[in-house]
Amino acid sequence: MRARMGSVDYTEMNVQISPREPLVSNRQSQRAVELFSQNYNCAQSVYAASATDIGLSEPQRLALAAPFGGGIARQGEVCGALMGALLRIGEACGEAMAADPVAGRNALYERTRQLTETFRKEHGSILCRELTGCSLDTEAGQRTFKERGLHQNLCTKLVAFAAEEVERMTAASMQK
C-alpha cells in the first residue's frame, strides 16, 4: 500500500514540515494540532478542538472520540481525523434531527458525504491503512509508522485539514 497526500507519495520518504509552511489556518485547526502534539489521537484532537460551542467539556469530547484513533482502535479503517470531524457534523445536525428525523438525517448524510468526498479528493483515500501505508494493529506497522515519521509528517496535516474543513462546513451551515 502507498501512503499518499494529494499527489505526494509518503511511503518511501521521511518529509519534514518547513517552518514557513502554513499548517493551520484557523483557531480550531491550531487547537487540533496542539492536542495531537500532546499525544491525543487524531479523532480526539479534531473533535475536541472543533466542538467548542457544544455543551460538552473538552475532557468529555476527548473521551467520546478516543475509540476512533488510528482508523478505529488502530484497525486502519476510516481515518480518525475524519471520524472526529464527522462527530462534529453529527452534533451540528442534532437539533434538526430531533425536530424532523428524516429531514435531519438527509441533511446530516449530505454533509457527511461532502466532507468525506472532500477528504478523499484531497488525500486519495479515507482509510487510515491506505493513507499511512501501515498496519497500525501490528508492532511492525507501528514501528514503520514511527520510522517514517508519519505522526508529524502526515497525520498532523490530516488533523489540521479535517479540523479546518469541519469548521468551514459548520460555519457555512450556521450562516444559512
Q: Which alpha helices (H) appear in 21-148, and where do they start and end? A: 27-37, 42-50, 58-65, 69-72, 80-99, 101-123, 128-132, 139-147
pLDDT > 90? residue 74: yes
Distance CA 166, CA 131 (A): 19
**Cell 490530516, located at residue:** 158
3-7, 89-93, 101-105, 116-120, range with the lowest pLDDT: 3-7
Q: What is the pLDDT of residue 119?
A: 98
Note the pLDDT of residue 92: 85
> Distance between CA atoms of 123 and 134, rounded to whole angstroms?
16
How large a percentage of the chain has pLDDT more than 90?
Answer: 67
Amino acid at 160: A
Write the pLDDT tens digit of every residue in 11-54.
443 333 333 244 556 888 999 999 999 999 999 999 999 866 66
Share of the chain above pLDDT 70, in %: 81
pLDDT for the residue 8: 40
Answer yes or no: is pLDDT of 3 > 50.
no
Note the pTM of the prediction, 2 decimals.
0.84
Lowest mean pLDDT across 49-53, 77-81, 160-164: 49-53
Question: What are 5-17's pLDDT values in tens digits?
Answer: 444 443 443 333 3
pLDDT digits (tens, 9 = 90+) for 112-123: 999 999 999 999
